[in-house]
């Protein structure tokens, strides 16, 4: 995989929008250009090997950009893709933890052409249902844990 630094123009655009998020107070942004990719923008955290070899800190977020494809977009769409990529990043200040990932919807290009926004809305509703199920399972686990702790505490008192 051939990598390179982004052009100054694209780096400035990413950095400008990164500043707007406020994340610059909690993490560093590393932009990497790609000569070929399946996605225009990919957001991730460096793995342990990359951190060691690249001497990267724990607070680094890397964004890989297929720059040839990115440069074919107009300014409005570039900003839209960048802002959406930043939506994948979250920071929990209580745990001092950076997380990459957010609920995603997937639709085919053919489906989008055939059904327009209806297919996107449907995929969004389905993703929300998955999130709700996960939240319900998490709440049930927490309730079960609290119940067991209460039972254990009750037995100790006897």
The secondary structure of residue 64, as a DSSP letter, is: E
Is 31 in the same domain as 98? Answer: yes
Is 10 in the same domain as 51? Answer: yes
What's the structural domain count of the chain? 2
Would you say residue 33 has pLDDT above 90?
Answer: yes
Domain that holds residue 32: 1-102
The most distant pair of C-alpha atoms in the chain lies apart, rounded to whole Å, by: 73
Is 92 in the same domain as 118? Answer: no
Distance CA 24, CA 104 (A): 24
46's CB contacts (< 8 A; 6+ apart) are 30, 54, 56, 60, 62
Read off the pLDDT of residues 78-132 as tens digits, 9 standing for 90 and up: 999 999 999 999 888 888 888 888 777 778 889 889 999 998 888 888 888 888 8
The secondary structure of residue 99, as a DSSP letter, is: E
Is 79 in the same domain as 132? Answer: no
SS3 assignment for 5-50: CCCHHHHHHHHHHHHHHCHHHCCEEEEEEECCCCCCEEEECCCHHH
Confidence of residue 153 (pLDDT cuts 50, 70, 90): confident
Is 132 in the same domain as 74? Answer: no
pTM of the model as a whole? 0.70
Residue 52's CATH number: 3.30.2010
Last residue of a domain, one of 87, 102, 117: 102
For all residues of the chain together, what is the average pLDDT? 89
The reported pLDDT for the residue numbered 130 is 81
């Amino acid at each position: 995989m051939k990598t390179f630094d982004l052009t100054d123009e694209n780096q400035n655009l990413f950095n400008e929008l990164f500043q707007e998020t406020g994340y610059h107070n909690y993490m560093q942004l590393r932009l990497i250009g790609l000569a070929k990719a399946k996605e225009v923008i990919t957001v991730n955290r460096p793995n342990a090997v990359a951190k060691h070899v690249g001497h990267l800190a724990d607070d680094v977020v890397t964004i890989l950009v297929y720059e040839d494809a990115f440069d074919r977009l107009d300014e409005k769409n570039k900003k839209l893709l960048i802002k959406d990529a930043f939506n994948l990043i979250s920071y929990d200040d209580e745990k001092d933890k950076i997380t990459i990932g957010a609920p995603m919807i997937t639709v085919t290009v053919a489906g989008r052409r055939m059904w327009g926004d209806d297919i996107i809305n449907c995929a969004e509703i389905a993703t929300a249902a998955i999130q709700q199920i996960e939240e319900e399972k998490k709440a049930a686990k927490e309730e079960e844990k609290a119940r067991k702790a209460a039972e254990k505490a009750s037995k100790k008192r006897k």
